[in-house]
Amino acid sequence: MSLIERLSAIVGAENVLTRPDDVEAYFIDWRRRYHGSARCVVRPKTRDEVAGVVRACADAGVAMVPQGGNTSHCGAGIPGEDGKSVLISLSRMNGIRSIDPTNNTLIAEAGCVLQTLHEAASSVGRLFPLSLAAEGSCQIGGNLSTNAGGVHVLHYGTMRELTLGLEVVLPNGEVWDGLRGLRKDNTGYDLKQLFIGAEGTLGIITAAVLKLFPQPRTTLTAWLAVESPTVALEVFGRLQGAFGGALTACELISDVSVDLVCKHIPGSRPPLIEASPWQLLIELTDAGENDSLLPALEDFLGEMLEKGVLTDAVLADGGEQARRLWALRENIGEAQKAEGFSIKHDISVPVSRVAEFMKRADAALARAFPGIRIVAFGHLGDGNLHYNQSKPDAAENSEFIKLQPRVNRIVYDIVNEFGGSISAEHGIGQLKRGELLRYTSAVEVQTMRAIKDALDPQGLMNPGKVL
């Protein structure tokens, strides 16, 4: 029996795709930067089908590439160009297995779209706080595999903090059932942390126990104008001092980013009458009855304006205005895509050094590449910046993109000097394999290789990614 026949017997022939028209969308990434090929696309529906597919591929010595919503920025879910692997799409494994409001947990399958998970939590008066621009299409398996962060890491943490248990199909087809909804469990190694952030190189996550939280009863959103990242950090510190844990998001956004959104996203418009070089988008929430939060924020903004720390401020007067403000932030990536290719960096540095990093990196890039355009935005509250470069002219930009290794070296050398990370939340994938080896110690790399060899001795699980 051929591999295709064996896979068809496991998931049904209709779920083993081989026709070019059927598989094309699986072989190109969201940014349209990576193109690959595979023997087929297999679409299992259950954990046992995933296990059967993995066993069949392992027996045949055929590499496997797990794929979720295919929203990766680093090509982690795209197969190589040799066409020898099997792409395993988790999109049919999209169920919510259970919700336990008392335990504040939910068990979701890997193919569950993030927005669907939000709706399921909301139906029982709970919140799942991971919030991403791609939440209408990204899947929870991919969020886990890249240790996604998003805009609420400041308060709730990354996927590592939001996950209590996992179910994983190992590279030999065995199943590890670690779906335990426990907040205290010290029975040996915390195995789930091996698979979170591993980008499918150690096994295939099929389900997860995720933390839920009370739904906020009060949510306040404001757009603030500041003169510089240095002032933005001052405002962030004052916000934390004034509101503590009620501050759930603090996003730094450049005027260049806003201009691109207004240029390419229909219906978008700047929230401020006068342009400002930098802006902060902040969110305060409270799960209880707190009538004092709004007047406290109004007083805070008034004081900051009076002292000249802020140059302008817009406090959303309701849900619709808040959604429009968040849309400006969330559509930056889509606007950049419409503008053309750019060199993207998903980096993090200590929060205290964000402004210093930007000053150093901006100056170094401007010296090396006159006329460069820097699109900078990100999660000020956790030090994660999306720090992207391009040239405004399309013809110039096509040549500039070829210089990515030089651009990367400038940016990543400064990140490394500041004790930062070259990958804050997008992962390594294909894009940063060489950079990981350059900026990660030999001991760390050797340890990662030892783990990979122990779990995947044939090297069949998502080869060419991470290591």
Give the tens place of pLDDT for each residue, 351-403: 999 999 999 999 999 999 999 999 999 999 999 999 999 999 888 998 999 99
At 73-124, the pLDDT tens digits run 888 999 999 999 999 999 999 999 999 999 999 999 999 999 999 999 999 9
pLDDT at 289 over 80: no
- Per-residue burial over 152-175, b = 16 or more CB atoms within 10 Å of its CB, e = otherwise: bbbbbbbbeebbbbbbbbbbbbeb
> Which residue's entry shows tokens 């070019």?
20
- pLDDT at position 152, please? 95
Residue ranges of alpha helices (H) inside 244-371 are 255-264, 293-306, 319-330, 332-339, 354-368
The model's pLDDT over 23-80, given as tens digits with 9 standing for 90+, comes to: 999 999 877 888 999 999 999 999 999 999 999 999 999 999 999 999 888 889 999 9
Report all structural domains of the chain as residue ranges with CATH numbers, in order of start: 3-89 (3.30.43.10), 96-214 (3.30.465.10), 218-333 (3.30.70.2190), 340-426 (3.30.70.2740)
pLDDT tens digits along 305-344: 999 999 999 999 878 999 999 999 999 999 998 998 899 9
- pLDDT at position 121 is 97
At 361 the pLDDT is: 98
What are 162-189's pLDDT values in tens digits?
Answer: 999 999 999 999 999 999 999 999 999 9
pLDDT at 287: 85
Cβ neighbors of 311 (< 8 A, separation 6 or more) are 225, 226, 227, 274, 276, 305
Phi and psi torsions of 338, nearest 5°: -65, -30
Residue 64 phi/psi, 5° resolution?
-125, 140
Using the predicted structure, report yes or no on whether residue 415 has a pLDDT greater than 90: yes
Look at residue 288 in the predicted model and tell me its pLDDT: 80
| Residue 438: Cβ within 10 Å count | 14
Query: What rounded mean pLDDT belongs to the chain?
Result: 95
d(CA 63, CA 53): 11
> Over 90: is that where the pLDDT of 12 sits?
yes
In angstroms, the CA 104 to CA 3 distance is: 42
